């Protein structure tokens, strides 16, 4: 962003410092609710990394890779997709529809079909806000939030209405067992390795890694990615260069929605094996923090997603061990968004002063 700063400061030091600031303030919050921050960190790390916990940590990481990549892709075209929550939720409907409609012969086929359905439904739910933004100038932040709320009402209707399974629970019928995806215990077993049983991490984790590579290729190695970045950098210049705002906005948001949607393969098909109420659990929003922290780069997103995986699983343990509500994670997430996003200049401006002065000192 700033030519005066060495790259390691811009991409390494500043993100780390802002993250530390966010954690420091989180520590104050912990103190303010009468808990010991050191104890909290211990419980969280133990909860996230014990043999059983790691399976949950990686499961959450998978979700956040998808939603983080989704926000990151949109960010490159200067679009703020805050609708991951709804897109992932509706993608779950898509996954449930195909899984319940046919008994797929093998899990690999079920995975392929589920992936396609998740991407299609996620993208579809992003399409209307994208079109309205491009054609009518409707603010995409507000329309995607509205689509989250509309989506949640729609799912609420489906699980007690047309898609409700047997019994009075607000959920769909359980998917046939052929739709069930191999979990880490099974996958590690293929290679003769051990992994705790009954942990939710499943093969979707590898789909997330593949998605990260594909996003990297899309953004930095294709003409389309170049156009998206150009559009994000300066809409005027991009239009002058013959780039269509409608096309870029639509494509960026469809890709973004499809990525959010993929999360449903992990949650709905991989774990719950049925359509539930509120299965996204805020992962769509955590994607914003992940993308900001990861500087919208797939490598950064992977690292940030893992951090949030640890926080989420560790946070669940906090509730169990210390009785701290799960909202602790929402607070940490908010502080990370705040410090790495809107308050970044708090760190950046002093850094610039420091390094520009140092630079001048060296040359004179």
Partner 1 sequence: MMDFLTNDLLQLSDSAVRNAIPLLLACLAGLYSERAGIFDIGLEGKMLVAAFAAGAFSAIAGMPIADGGWDMGAWSVWIGLGAAIIASTVFSMIHAFASITLRGNQLISGVAINFFAAGITVLIGQYWFRMGGQTPQLRAGQRFEPITLPFADSLKDVPVIGDIYFKLISGHNIIVYMGFAIVALTWWVLYRTRFGLRMRAVGENPGAVDTAGISVVKLRYSALIITGILCGLAGAYLSLGTAAAGFGKDMTAGRGFIALAALIFAKWKPISAMWATLLFGMLEAIGNKYQTVDLGFVVLPGQFMQALPYILTVVILAGFVGKAIPPKAGGEPYVKER
DSSP 8-state code for residue 180: P
Q: Which of 50, 138, 178, 244 is close enough to bind partner 1 by CB under 8 A?
A: 138
Could you tell me which residues come within 8 angstroms of residue 260 by beta carbon, excluding any fewer than 6 positions away? 66, 67, 70, 81, 83, 84, 87, 88, 91, 122, 126, 284, 287
- Told to check if 120 binds partner 1 by CB under 8 A, we report no
Six-digit token pair at 254? 């469809």
Q: What are the tokens at 106? A: 């093998």
Largest pairwise CA distance in the chain:
79
Among 54, 65, 77, 82, binds partner 1 (CB under 8 A): 82
- Rule CB under 8 A: say whether 2 interacts with partner 1: no
CB of 160 to partner 1, least distance (A): 8
- 37 touches partner 1 by CB under 8 A: no
- Concatenated DSSP letters for 24-59? HHHHHHHHHTT--HHHHHHHHHHHHHSTTHHHHHHH
Residues within window 277-306 making contact with partner 1, judged by CB under 8 A: 285, 288, 292
Residue whose CB is less far from partner 1, 150 or 218: 150
Q: Which of 11, 13, 27, 80 binds partner 1 (CB under 8 A)?
A: 80
- Counting contacts by CB under 8 A, is residue 356 touching partner 1? no
Report the Cα 317 to chain-centroid distance in Å.
Answer: 21
Burial 252-265 (b: 16+ CB within 10 A, else e): bbbbbbbbbbbbbb
- Residue 121 to residue 124: CA distance in whole angstroms: 5
Exactly one of 66, 107, 125, 147 binds partner 1 (CB under 8 A); that residue is 147
344 binds partner 1 (CB under 8 A): yes
Q: Which of 31, 153, 299, 354 binds partner 1 (CB under 8 A)?
A: 153
| Rg, Å, the chain Cα set | 21
Comparison of 50 and 138: residue with beta carbon closer to partner 1: 138
Q: Tokens at residue 10, please?
A: 């811009």
CB of 53 to partner 1, least distance (A): 22
- Asked if 327 is part of the footprint of partner 1 (rule: CB under 8 A), the reply reads yes
Residues that bind partner 1 in the complex, under the rule CB under 8 A: 29, 32-34, 80, 82, 128, 132, 136-139, 141-143, 145-147, 149-150, 153-154, 156-157, 161, 285, 288, 292, 324-325, 327-331, 333-335, 337-338, 341-346, 349
């Amino acid at each position: 962003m700033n030519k005066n700063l060495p790259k390691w400061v811009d991409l390494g030091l500043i993100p780390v410092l802002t993250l530390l600031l966010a954690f420091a303030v989180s520590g104050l919050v912990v103190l303010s609710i009468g808990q010991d921050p050191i104890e909290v960190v211990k419980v969280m790390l133990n909860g996230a990394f014990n043999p059983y916990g790691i399976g949950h940590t990686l499961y959450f990481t998978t979700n956040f890779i998808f939603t983080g990549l989704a926000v990151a892709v949109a960010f490159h075209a200067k679009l703020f997709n805050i609708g991951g929550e709804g897109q992932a939720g509706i993608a779950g409907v898509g996954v449930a529809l195909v899984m319940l409609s046919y008994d797929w012969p093998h899990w690999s086929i079920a995975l392929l079909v589920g992936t396609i359905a998740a991407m299609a439904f996620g993208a579809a739910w992003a399409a209307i806000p994208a079109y309205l933004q491009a054609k009518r100038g409707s603010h995409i932040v507000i329309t995607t939030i509205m689509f989250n709320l509309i989506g949640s009402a729609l799912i609420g209707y489906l699980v007690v209405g047309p898609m409700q399974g047997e019994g009075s629970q607000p959920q769909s019928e359980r998917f046939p067992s052929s739709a069930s995806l191999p979990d880490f215990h099974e996958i590690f077993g293929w290679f003769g390795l051990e992994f705790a049983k009954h942990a939710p991490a499943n093969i979707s984790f590898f789909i997330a890694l593949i998605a990260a590579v594909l996003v990297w290729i899309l953004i930095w190695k294709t003409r389309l990615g170049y156009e998206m970045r150009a559009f994000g950098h300066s809409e005027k210049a991009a239009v002058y260069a013959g780039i269509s705002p409608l096309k870029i906005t639509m494509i960026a948001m469809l890709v973004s929605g499809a990525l959010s949607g993929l999360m449903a393969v992990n949650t709905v098909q991989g774990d719950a094996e049925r359509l539930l109420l509120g299965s996204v659990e805020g992962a769509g929003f955590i994607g914003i923090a992940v993308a900001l922290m990861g500087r919208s780069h797939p490598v950064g997103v992977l690292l940030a997603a893992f951090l949030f995986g640890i926080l989420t699983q560790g946070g669940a343990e906090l509730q169990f061990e210390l009785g701290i509500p799960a909202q602790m994670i929402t607070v940490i997430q908010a502080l990370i968004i705040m410090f790495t996003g809107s308050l970044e200049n708090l760190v950046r401006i002093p850094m610039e002063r420091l390094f520009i002065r140092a630079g001048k000192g060296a040359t004179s």
